[in-house]
Amino acid sequence: MINYYKELGVNNNASKQEIKLAYLSMLKKYHPDVYDGDPEFAQNKTALINECYATLKDDEKRKAYDIELEKFEPKPKQTTKSEDDFILKEFFKRFRTNLHQEKPKTERQTQSTPKTQRVKKQKVKKEKQISQRNEEEEDIERKENKKLTIYIIIILAIIIATIALCMCL
């Protein structure tokens, strides 16, 4: 038995308006005048969509169809909202606790060997050198920017003075 609801892409409890919108949407997609693929497929699909809509738009036909459909496809057990909420809360609660649990450190991880201490000191030293270089480069850049600003001011002053002289003559 064909599930008309699935064919139209709606839920079993969809309103008439939802069914009509789904029908029109599917018709726009699969109508033989619009569909780019196999014309025979488009005709068959359009006929099926029309059959689905004809059955589901009529209240009496829909009730009879729902009874028949239930014989072939029994409804799955639906959980209540509170059960769903409880399941989700438990999942996230467990997820958070697993995420934040600290793993016990092994003896090897807690002990600091002279070699690891040396490596750490070297890393710190390199980081200091890099930060000093960056500071030095920034200082040089600031000085160059100051010089450039002074040159620009001087050039502007010369231009203004030249314009003022030309106006006086």
**58-81 pLDDT, tens digit each:** 999 999 999 988 887 766 555 555
Q: Phi then psi for 77, rounded to 5 degrees?
A: -65, 125
What pLDDT does residue 18 have? Answer: 92
What pLDDT does residue 169 have? Answer: 74
pTM beyond cutoff 0.95: no
Q: Identify whether 94 is part of a domain.
A: no
What pLDDT does residue 37 have? Answer: 87
Which of the residue ranges 2-11, 46-55, 108-117, 150-159 would you say has the lowest mean pLDDT? 108-117
Tokens at 86, concatenated: 């409880």
What pLDDT does residue 114 have? Answer: 77
Q: Which of 19, 21, 26 is nearest to 53 (CA)?
A: 19
Chosen domain end from 31, 46, 72: 72
Band of pLDDT at residue 50, cut at 50, 70 and 90? very high
Q: Identify whether 116 is part of a domain.
A: no
What pLDDT does residue 100 have? Answer: 52
Q: Identify whether 33 is part of a domain.
A: yes
Chosen domain end from 72, 91, 117: 72
Residues of the domain holding 31: 4-72
pLDDT digit string, tens, across residues 82-121 = 566 666 666 666 656 555 555 555 555 555 677 778 888 8
What pLDDT does residue 76 have? Answer: 55
**Number of structural domains, the chain?**
2
Q: Identify whether 77 is part of a domain.
A: no
- Return the number of other C-beta atoms located less than 10 Å from residue 56's C-beta: 25
Q: Is 9 left (phi over 0), alpha (psi -120 to 50) or beta?
A: left
What pLDDT does residue 156 have? Answer: 92
Q: Identify whether 45 is part of a domain.
A: yes
CATH number at residue 42: 1.10.287.110
Q: Identify whether 55 is part of a domain.
A: yes
Residue type, 7: E
Chosen domain end from 25, 53, 72: 72
Q: Identify whether 113 is part of a domain.
A: no
Tokens at 77, concatenated: 């057990």
Q: Identify whether 80 is part of a domain.
A: no
